Amino acid sequence: MTTEAPRRTTTEFALRPDELLEMYRRMRRIRRFEERASALYKATEIPGFVHLSIGQEASAVGACWPLRPGDGITSTHRGHGHVLAKGLDTASMMAELMGKEAGTNHGRGGSMHIADPNLGIYGANGIVGAGLPIAAGVATAARLRGAGDVVVAFFGDGAVAQGMFHEAVNLAAVWDLPVVFLCENNHYSEFSPAEKQHRAPLSARAAGYGIGYEYADGNDVVAVARTVSAVVERLRRGEGPVLVEAETYRWHGHYEGDPERYRDESEVAAAKKRDPLIVVRRHLAEAGVPETAVAAVDAEIDREIDAAVDRARALPDPAPETLHDHVTAPRPALPEPAAPTGEVFRTMDAVRLALEHELTTDPDVFLAGIDVGDGGNVFGLTRGLAQAFPGRVRDTPISESAIVGTAVGAAMAGMKPVVEIMYMDFIGVCLDMLLNQAAKLRFMTGGRASMPLVVRTQFGAGRSSGSQHSQSLEALLAHIPGLTVVMPSNPADTYGLLRAAIQDPNPVVFVENRLQYGFKGPRPPADHLVPLGKAKVVREGIDVTLVSWSRMVQDSLAAAELLAAEGISVEVVDLRTIAPLDRETVLASLAKTNRLVIAHEAVRDFGVGAELSALAVDEGFWHLDAPVTRVAAPAMPAPYAPALEKLWLPSRDTIAETVRRIAAV
């Protein structure tokens, strides 16, 4: 199967007869694949949801025609045509649709989530518009490497209403990224006609972002290829992104089984008169390609698709023992480092030094976020790094979805991005990029997608920051399989854990406490690394186990010191990593003390403390001599008034009071 168009200049765009025939072959492959997928879905041989692109073959093939192997695409839930046009084989794709282990993504992605980054296919996507920020990330990697690669981001007209569209296009414009934002305007957003969804045309939107705009007849593969080839040449020369509108029409409903009550049969019939395959056949006839050659291609593709279906039917399903495969990448085993003995330094110094160390030693690392470059971060943590590492410390617009989406795309393209979300509370703005992209893409691609990225953020109540700047949301993040969540409690661990997170092959959310940026402790050596997923006993004791993390560890240690004077021996465990949870260390301490108290800054209900309580009652039940108890903020928003906030937050004294009560049981 041919995967790359012959190279030629587009200054005088013309196609040889053999090139036109190859275009037809690719379009025919998509058409027959989709027709068989439709029939197999109706026969229940393909499970789940299926969204077909019959009628849109020309836009897929034409847009991918000028692409090189190093170029990338991102796709949509209607992505079969795009990935086939970029070079994915029909056999593994059909197996993937049938949920087979030998499918493109080992049966983990299915119709909406096919990807192969090795071919520059960075994923079809079940979330409307989600591929656009990811495309910006892939393009960022291309720009940083200077290889002249480009990215085509396919999306439908419905995605224009998504905030991710705005954020991605604006970021790409500001950074002059080599992205072709290719809208397949099929005139329907699910069931709604485009005129009911938008008031401004795409040409006006492009002008608003300060980027180029081109229109192409999306049913004419030659017209699309001519337009996109010219745009791609401009991007390879270093020009900024371009929005291309390819006007087309989908013959089937939004999904297979769609009753299509929103349009009548006459409209569909009229659209079929401009069948993209008929249009390209006219080009073939004008170029003198004999009908026998076209018929031979038809027969060839029929055999190919028949063979793909027969093969997929005969393949085994994923084995039960593979259920947990591909959720996370194996992480390197790291020993617990020796206690630091260097001069005193602060947590804010630890953050900067860790970032500086990884930027220095690994050229694939880059930083991005709001004001992390020229501004040096709102807390001054990255001051000077933009000057020391030109181009690799990048200011972004205030666009959290684009920031994290850029990290996802760049990670898939082989970089190690470290991006900053200024406040933990703002995680909600970009939650899809964490919940449905960073955390799931390795799994949904059957391990094909790498995801070595770090999202740095900070939190901390106690300074009257109010309800939207004080939240401790680690339980929300820890509930997402695939994410690693880290919350250090001291400067040395901050340094060692941040370096380990940047080197880790998995997506890590690294949560700092802003009230600890000035906290001081001994500085470790430059090679200091702290293993992820490992808790640490930071104070030995025999009467009560006290588990905590982040700043609350320091309050727990202070409470333990207070109680020691009363003859109560408290063992303090610092989780350090929230997910994955180090159950073994907690249970070992519980077996030693037979009592468990958990202290955390987050609200009490449905939190990490509840998970630890369940662990103790489930696996540690026979060690318990007293109720498991949590010390935490009540389930309400953080108050602004200092007097109320002080009542709301746990403290050394409330922790000590609780431990004292449990020790007496």
> What's the confidence (pLDDT) of residue 3?
41
The span from the CA of 386 to the CA of 371, in Å, is 10
Using CB atoms within 10 Å of the CB of residue 387, give its burial: 0 to 12 exposed, 13 to 18 middle, 19+ buried.
Answer: exposed
Q: What is the mean pLDDT of residues 381-404?
A: 96
Indicate the pTM of the whole model: 0.94
What is the arithmetic mean of pLDDT over 545-573?
A: 98
Asked if the model's pLDDT at residue 181 lies above 50, the reply is yes
- The per-residue pLDDT for range 578-637, each reduced to its tens digit, is 999 999 999 999 999 999 999 999 999 999 999 999 999 999 999 999 999 999 999 999
CB 481 within 8 A of CB 327: yes
The pLDDT of residue 12: 64
For 456-489, what is each residue's pLDDT tens digit?
999 999 999 999 999 999 999 999 999 999 999 9
Q: Once rounded to an integer, what is the mean pLDDT over residues 150-162?
A: 93
DSSP 20-66: HHHHHHHHHHHHHHHHHHHHHHHTTSS-S-----TT-HHHHHHHHTT
Q: In Å, how far from its chain's centre is CA 85?
A: 24
pLDDT of residue 265: 87
Distance CA 491, CA 497 (A): 10
pLDDT for the residue 537: 98
What are 572's strand-pairing partners? 539, 546
Does residue 270 have a pLDDT over 90? no
User: How are strands ordered across the β-sheet holding 596-603?
Assistant: 536-539, 570-574, 544-548, 596-603, 629-633
Q: Report CA-CA distances (Å) from 603 to 10, 471, 487, 606, 634.
A: 61, 9, 16, 8, 5
pLDDT of 194 above 80: no
Instruction: Determine if the peptide bond prior to 580 is cis (ω within 30°).
Output: yes
Task: Give me the residue spans of the domains in the chain.
Answer: 17-314, 344-522, 536-663
Fold of 344-522: Rossmann fold (3.40.50)
H helix runs in 393-514, sequence order: 400-412, 431-432, 441-444, 474-478, 491-503
Enter the tokens of residue 635.
């389930």
pLDDT above 70 covers what percent of the chain? 98
147 vs 550: CA distance, rounded Å: 42
- Identify the band that residue 268 occupies on the pLDDT scale cut at 50, 70 and 90: confident
143's enclosing H/E stretch is helix 131-145
Q: How far apart are CA 233 and CA 11, in angstroms?
A: 9
Show Cβ contacts of residue 209 under 8 Å, excluding neighbours closer than 6 positions.
169, 170, 173, 243
201 burial type by CB count under 10 A (0-12 exposed, 13-18 middle, 19+ buried): middle
Which residue carries 């393949």 as its tokens? 315
Task: Please give the average per-residue pLDDT across 635-647, as a whole number.
Answer: 95
Token reading at 135: 């495309």
Query: Any catalytic annotation for residue 400?
Result: yes
The predicted-structure confidence for 374-392, as pLDDT tens digits, reads as follows: 999 999 999 999 999 999 9
Tell me if 17-314 shares its fold with 344-522.
Answer: yes
Say whether pLDDT at 198 is over 90. Answer: no
Residue 573 has pLDDT above 90, yes or no: yes
CA distance 110 to 509: 27
Q: Give yes or no for residue 6 having a pLDDT over 50.
A: no
Q: Class for domain 17-314, per CATH?
A: alpha beta
By the 10 Å C-beta count (0-12 exposed, 13-18 middle, 19+ buried), 545 is classed as: buried
| Candidate list 57, 256, 400, 474, residue with the active-site label | 400
Residue keyed to tokens 């020309």: 58
Neighbours of 234 (CB within 10 A): 17
Q: Is the pLDDT reported for residue 285 higher than 50?
A: yes
Minimum mean pLDDT among 196-200, 293-297, 433-437, 495-499: which range? Answer: 196-200
CATH number of the 536-663 domain: 3.40.50.920
Question: What mean pLDDT, rounded, does the chain reach?
Answer: 95
| pLDDT of 8 above 50 | no
Q: Which of 252, 326, 469, 600 is catalytic?
A: 469
Residue-wise pLDDT tens digits, 291-335: 999 999 999 999 999 999 999 999 999 999 999 999 999 999 999
Sheet (strand 454-459) strand order? 393-395, 365-369, 416-420, 454-459, 508-513, 484-486, 577-579
